């Protein structure tokens, strides 16, 4: 039996073999590191950039931490799906997008070119951040390939504050994306917000208190109705979770959603036209016992399970869900 270090020893794209959870070469969910993308369904890559933060830095270390936290998820069949997603879905780890932080003007073009090259192969992208500003060049690339996308933004913050069109800021990029028309705001929803802005910029806003009162199913009903048949890009800011569940982030805000609510929300997006996802703002220096990184890895894993299910895997959940 072949065992260990799939990240660089594996030759085929599907399946998996045994690893020591606590050892071995790290990649996201132990997938093969490669930049040869023929036949690949989803490319995982990191964007280790955090120079646009407005409070605590450290999320440039997020991709590394999320990869490490993903090892347990690579051991067993996925819960609650009941299958191994990698029997059906060809997923590889590209590594990290190369960014020169000493030349800030090149950051957005570098990320955009990175995404363009991957999307041109026909693969979908799962991106590990990094601060939330990285979503802007990712959205530009996705809109170029799919047309304006329905943005589903899981977040404590609206990220639509005043923008001058030039600054590099993780709190303004969705206002810019809306202004440029790369996001179809009429089909987009912001979920979990608990900070205030005078304008909603056309987004449907489901605040954290609203979700606490009405529940995840009610939120999903609205999200799904708005998105319709549009291509859906999920941007999951880990600070959408309450700091009790995700302390390792730069701008924590009390009153957020629990990790179970975040996971139920992602799982409830099944059947939508999911074209891309990012998981951002994991800041390991502020994490405790990897709880934030584990939550981020699980959210990303479950999004991949939706794609595997879409490709033909059969849900085999056991017990009452």
β-pairing verdict for 273-280 and 124-129: parallel
Query: Per the domain annotation, does 150 fall within a domain?
Result: yes
Q: Which CATH number fits the domain that encloses residue 213? A: 3.40.800.10
Query: Per the domain annotation, does 127 fall within a domain?
Result: yes
State which residues form the domain around 227.
Answer: 40-311
Structural domain total, the chain:
1
Query: Per the domain annotation, does 321 fall within a domain?
Result: no
Distance CA 144, CA 18 (A): 39
Query: Per the domain annotation, does 252 fall within a domain?
Result: yes
Look at residue 312 in the predicted model and tell me its pLDDT.
82
**159 appears as a binding residue in the annotation:** yes
Distance CA 33, CA 92 (A): 6
Residue 226 neighbours by CB under 8 Å, 6+ apart: 150, 186, 187, 188, 189, 204
**100 appears as a binding residue in the annotation:** no
Distance CA 237, CA 277 (A): 11
Distance CA 2, CA 9 (A): 10
Both structure tokens of 312: 């033909």
Query: Per the domain annotation, does 96 fall within a domain?
Result: yes
Token pair 């040869």 is at which residue? 36
**164 appears as a binding residue in the annotation:** no
Look at residue 223 in the predicted model and tell me its pLDDT.
98
CA distances for 61 relative to 68, 87, 125, 129, 317, angstroms: 11, 30, 19, 8, 34
Look at residue 318 in the predicted model and tell me its pLDDT.
58
pLDDT in tens, the chain (321 residues): 689 999 999 999 999 999 999 999 999 999 999 999 999 999 999 999 999 899 999 999 999 999 999 999 999 999 999 999 999 899 999 999 999 989 999 999 999 999 999 999 999 999 999 999 999 999 999 999 999 999 999 999 998 888 888 888 888 899 999 999 999 999 999 999 999 888 888 999 999 999 999 999 999 999 999 999 999 999 999 999 999 999 999 999 999 999 999 999 999 999 999 999 999 999 999 999 999 999 999 999 999 999 999 988 666 655 555
Assess contact for 206 and 189: CB atoms under 8 A.
yes
**50 appears as a binding residue in the annotation:** no
**301 appears as a binding residue in the annotation:** no
Distance CA 236, CA 241 (A): 10
Query: Per the domain annotation, does 10 fall within a domain?
Result: no
DSSP annotation of 48 reads -
Distance CA 27, CA 70 (A): 8
Query: Per the domain annotation, does 33 fall within a domain?
Result: no
Query: Per the domain annotation, does 54 fall within a domain?
Result: yes
The pTM assigned to this predicted structure is 0.95
**132 appears as a binding residue in the annotation:** yes
- The secondary element (H helix, E strand) that includes residue 174 is helix 173-180
């Amino acid at each position: 039996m072949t065992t260990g270090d799939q990240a660089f020893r594996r030759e085929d794209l599907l399946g998996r073999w045994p690893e020591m959870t606590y050892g071995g070469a790290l990649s996201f969910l132990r997938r093969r590191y490669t930049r040869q993308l023929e036949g690949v369904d989803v490319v995982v890559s990191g964007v280790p950039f955090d120079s646009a933060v407005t409070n605590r830095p450290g999320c440039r270390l997020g991709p590394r931490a999320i990869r490490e936290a993903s090892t347990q998820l690579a051991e067993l069949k996925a819960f609650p799906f009941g299958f191994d997603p990698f029997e059906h879905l060809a997923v590889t780890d590209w590594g990290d997008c190369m960014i020169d932080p000493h030349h800030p003007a090149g950051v957005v073009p570098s990320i955009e070119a990175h995404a363009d090259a991957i999307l041109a192969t026909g693969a979908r992208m799962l991106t590990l951040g990094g601060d939330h500003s990285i979503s802007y060049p990712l959205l530009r690339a996705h809109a170029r390939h799919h047309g304006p996308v329905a943005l589903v933004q899981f977040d404590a913050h609206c990220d639509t504050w005043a923008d001058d069109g030039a600054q590099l800021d993780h709190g303004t990029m969705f206002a810019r994306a809306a202004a440029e028309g790369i996001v179809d705001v009429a089909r987009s929803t912001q979920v979990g917000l608990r900070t205030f802005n005078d304008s909603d910029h056309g987004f449907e806003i489901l605040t954290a208190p609203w979700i606490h009162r009405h529940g995840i199913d009610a939120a999903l009903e609205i999200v799904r109705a708005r998105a319709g048949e549009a291509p859906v890009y999920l941007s999951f800011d880990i600070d959408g979770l309450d700091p009790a569940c995700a302390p390792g982030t730069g701008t924590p805000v009390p009153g957020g959603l629990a990790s179970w609510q975040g996971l139920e929300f992602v799982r409830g997006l099944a059947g939508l036209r999911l074209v891309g996802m990012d998981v951002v703002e994991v800041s390991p220096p502020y994490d405790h016992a990897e709880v934030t990184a584990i939550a981020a890895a699980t959210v990303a894993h479950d999004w991949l399970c939706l794609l595997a299910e879409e490709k033909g895997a059969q849900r085999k959940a056991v017990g009452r869900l």
